[in-house]
Amino acid sequence: MNNPVRVRFAPSPTGHLHIGGARTALFNWLFARHNNGTFILRIEDTDTGRSTDEYIDAILKGMEWLKLDWDEGPYRQTTRFDIYRGYVDRLLKEGKAYYCYCTPEELEQRRKDALAQGRTPKYDNRCRCLDGPVPGRTPAVRFMMPQEGRTTLNDLIKGPIEFENTVLEDMVIMRSDGTPTYNFVVVVDDIDMKITHVIRGDDHVNNTPKQIHIYKAFGWEAPEFAHLPMILGADKTRLSKRHGATSVVAYKDMGYFPDALINYLVRLGWAYGDQEVFTREELIRFFSLESVGKSAAVFNPEKLLWLNSQYVNKSASETLAEEVVPFLFRDGVISDALQPDKQWLSKAVASLKERSRTLVELAHSLRYYILDDVQIEPKARDKFLKPEHILYLSEMRELLSGISDFNGAEIEKAFVSLAERHQVKLGAVAQPARVAITGTTASPGIFEVVEIIGKQKILNRLSRVIGGD
């Protein structure tokens, strides 16, 4: 590459950062980092009717959570209107653009007429050769497209693409109210910001020939283009809310790790052999556009959940303990006045992380470690807290209360002793204890659980169940 790589992620702030946008941002970020280039964040907010500061903030927070740090920006197009007008004036002076006095109502009627006659709706260029202004009308500005020949594009992902220029209409680049249009400002921005590679979704492919001609009009070499395949839902339709959460922030709230989501997103259309789990350093080292597939990728929530579980399981317990605290606060399990000891919490987390796929699941499981009381599942109560089980629990309470050094080995001895006394299998006494202590039939090893919860809480819970509370 002759010029230093400069790429941009340019979201429109009409909604939160979604899965498709996040993947586009990630591929740009990886391409920049792999090539020691520059990653620019640009907010395309010219749609003033739908763009909001709230969505801009949400996009920035989503990027920050994913740790996709940008080198320049965020630039906002609404602060650059004077720049765009200068470029429009240049095209008008050079005879490469012209004033169009057609009203929206006239254009709509011509569109309907074309459809009724079986023709493709397209501007008929009637204002190209006007002798002067039309009184009483405020004009828009249209760009003069070539009317013959072909536009060729060598897409870095899709390969060679050709467009017939006859299908390109003289598009509006400045509306009658003075606001510029998307296909124009994106080119001006890419020129000003010296963008070398445009990596974006393939829903922009049809915009590309229009933009290429604007580059040519300014005598500027167009950047390289790479259009990413779409992301589809399991039903092979375009990914949308009906397929589950599409907002990046939603996955944060659901207890996913940013690195897990990054890892999953990069595999939606890119591969490096058979490897599934990558560190960020590996992704930067291995990433290339040549390894991006041409086919649409299918979003699989179960695969993402599995991948997140790998990150949960492999994380240090101390790190997980810190990460889970906000979720414990959110669930009301802890408060400013009641927070568990960090070392103790790490020990509790260590016993649960192999069973937890998300931080939400981990926080939920920690409830029976932290809360003074637990809610017992009705089915578990009916099956394992019958009168004969209450007898076991009563005797278990007496055995545990007599232990001075409350550790796993001594706790196990008490359980084994009780089972031998009643000549039953260990599970016959362990499962009722598990239900009474955790409220559920599934938990880590019961001896470990009893030790972590602590002697007094265990005795209190057994007493409540024995007493029928």
Environment class of 276 (CB within 10 Å of its CB; exposed 0-12, middle 13-18, buried 19+) = middle
Task: Please provide residue 184's backbone torsions phi and psi, each rounded to the nearest 5 degrees.
Answer: -85, -50
pLDDT for 46 equals: 83
pLDDT for 42 equals: 97
In angstroms, the CA 468 to CA 108 distance is: 75
Is-cis flag, bond preceding 74, omega within 30?
Answer: yes
pLDDT for 2 equals: 67
Could you say which of 241, 294, 342, 413 is catalytic?
241
Give the type of residue at 454: G
Task: Please provide residue 227's backbone torsions phi and psi, each rounded to the nearest 5 degrees.
Answer: -105, 120
Look up residue 467 and give its two tokens: 């007493």
Q: Is 241 a catalytic residue?
A: yes
User: What is the value of pTM for the model shown?
Assistant: 0.91
Buried b / exposed e over 167-182, threshold 16 CB at 10 Å, is ebbbbbbbebeebbbb
The conformation of residue 289, written as its DSSP 8-state character, comes to G
pLDDT for 142 equals: 98
In angstroms, the CA 246 to CA 398 distance is: 53
In angstroms, the CA 52 to CA 74 distance is: 15
3-state secondary structure of 269: coil
Task: Give the number of other Cβ atoms within 10 Å of residue 160's Cβ.
Answer: 8
pLDDT for 131 equals: 86
Q: How far is CA 371 from CA 153, 228, 324, 381, 443, in A?
A: 63, 48, 15, 19, 16
- pLDDT tens, residue order, the chain (469 aa): 568 999 999 999 988 999 999 999 999 999 999 999 999 999 999 887 788 899 999 999 999 999 999 999 999 999 999 999 999 999 999 999 999 999 999 999 999 999 999 888 999 999 998 988 999 999 999 999 999 999 999 999 999 999 999 999 999 999 999 999 999 999 999 999 999 999 999 999 999 999 999 999 999 999 999 999 999 988 888 887 777 667 899 999 999 999 999 999 999 999 999 999 999 999 999 999 999 999 999 999 999 999 999 999 999 999 999 999 999 999 999 999 888 999 999 999 999 999 999 999 999 999 999 998 899 999 999 999 999 999 999 999 999 999 999 999 999 999 999 999 999 999 999 999 999 999 999 999 999 999 999 999 999 999 999 986 5
Residue 198 near residue 156, CB atoms below 8 Å: no
In angstroms, the CA 451 to CA 348 distance is: 10
